[in-house]
Chains A and B, each alone.
Chain A
Amino acid sequence: MSTPTKAPREAVIEVRGLCNRFGSQSVHENLDLDVYKGEILGVVGGSGTGKSVLLRSIVGLRRPTEGEVRVFGKDLLSLHEAERSLIERRFGVLFQKGALFSSLTVTENIALPLIEHAGLSRPDAEHLACVKLALAGLPLSAADKYPSSLSGGMVKRAALARALALDPDILFLDEPTAGLDPIGAAAFDQLILTLRDALGLSVFLVTHDLDTLYTITDRVAVLSQKRVLVAAPIAEVEDFDDPWIHEYFHGPRGRAAYEAATQRKEQ
Chain B
Amino acid sequence: MEPTTITAMAGDAQLDTSSNPARLKISGQWTLVNYARLKLLTEQLAGKYDARTQIDLDDVSRLDTAGASLLVELLGSERVAQLADSATKLPAADRALLQTVYSSMRDFCVPVKAVEVNLGIQLLSRIGCSVDKLWQDTLQLLGFIGVILQTLARNFFRPKQWRITPVVAQIEQIGLNAAPIVALLTFMVGAVVAFLGATVLSNFGAGIYTVDLVAFSFLREFGVLLTAILMAGRTASSFTAQIGSMKANEEIDAIRTLGLDPMDLLVLPRVLALLIALPLLTFLAMMAGILGGAVVCVVSIGISPDMFISMLHSDIGVKNFLVGMVKAPFFAFLIAAVGCLEGFKVSGSAESVGAHTTSSVVQSIFIVILLDAVAALFFMEMGW
Determine the chain B residues whose CB is within 8 A of the CB of A149 once the complex forms. 348
Instruction: Please tell me if B176 contacts chain A, counting CB pairs below 8 Å.
Output: no
Known: A131-B101, A191-B100. A198 touches B35 (CB 8 A): no
Does A140 reach chain B (CB closer than 8 Å)?
yes
Q: Across the interface, do A132 and B349 meet the contact criterion of CB distance under 8 Å?
A: no
- 12 A/B residue pairs, CB under 8 Å, sorted by A: A103-B349, A114-B32, A124-B35, A128-B66, A135-B100, A135-B101, A137-B104, A195-B97, A198-B63, A198-B64, A198-B96, A199-B97
Q: Which of A102, A107, A119, A121 has the most CB of B within 10 A?
A: A102
Cα–Cα, bound, A114→B108 (Å): 20
Q: Which of B16-62 contact A (CB under 8 A)?
A: 31-33, 35-36, 39
Within 8 Å CB of A130, what residues of B? 108, 110-111
Report the Cα distance A11→B99, complex, angstroms.
Answer: 30
Complex interface bits, B291-305 against A, C-beta within 8 A gives 1, otherwise 0: 000000000000000
Contact A140 B65 (CB under 8 A): no
Nearest CB of chain B from residue A38's CB, rounded to whole Å? 10
Contacts of A144 in B (CB 8 A): 111
In the complex, which residues 104-157 of chain B have their Cβ closer than 8 Å to any Cβ of chain A? Answer: 104-105, 107-111
B residues 230-259 near A (Cβ < 8 Å) are: 248
**B29 to nearest A CB, angstroms?**
12
Do A146 and B348 contact each other (CB < 8 Å), given the known contacts A128-B35, A194-B100, A198-B94? yes
**Given A140-B111, A167-B31, also A199-B64 (CB < 8 A):** yes
Q: Does B351 contact A (CB under 8 A)?
A: yes
Is there an interface contact between B65 and A119, defined as CB atoms closer than 8 Å? Answer: no
Min CB distance A245 to B, Å, is 32
Contact yes or no, A167 B64, CB < 8 A:
yes
Q: Can you list, as one digit per residue, whether each of A165-199 has a CB less than 8 Å from chain B (1) or not (0)?
A: 01100000000000000000000001100110111
Instruction: Report the bound CA distance from A132 to B100 in whole Å.
Output: 11
The reply on A256 being an interface residue by CB < 8 A is no
Chain B residue at minimal CB-CB distance from A137: B104
A194 and B35 contacting across the interface, CB-CB below 8 Å:
no
A190–B348 CA distance with the chains assembled, in angstroms = 32
Contact A167:B39 (CB < 8 A) given known A143-B111, A146-B349, A194-B100? no
Q: Which residues in B have their C-beta under 8 angstroms from that of A198?
A: 63-64, 93-94, 96-97, 100
B36–A103 touching, CB < 8 Å: no
Query: In the assembled complex, how far is the CB of residue B303 from the closest CB belonging to chain A, in whole angstroms?
Result: 57
- The answer for the CA separation of A65 and B218 in the assembled complex, in Å, is 56
For A190, what are the chain B residues with a Cβ–Cβ distance below 8 Å?
100
A134 within 8 A of B: yes
- Chain B residues within 8 Å of A197, by CB: 92-93, 96-97
Name the interface residues of A192-211: CB closer than 8 Å to any CB of B.
Answer: 194-195, 197-199
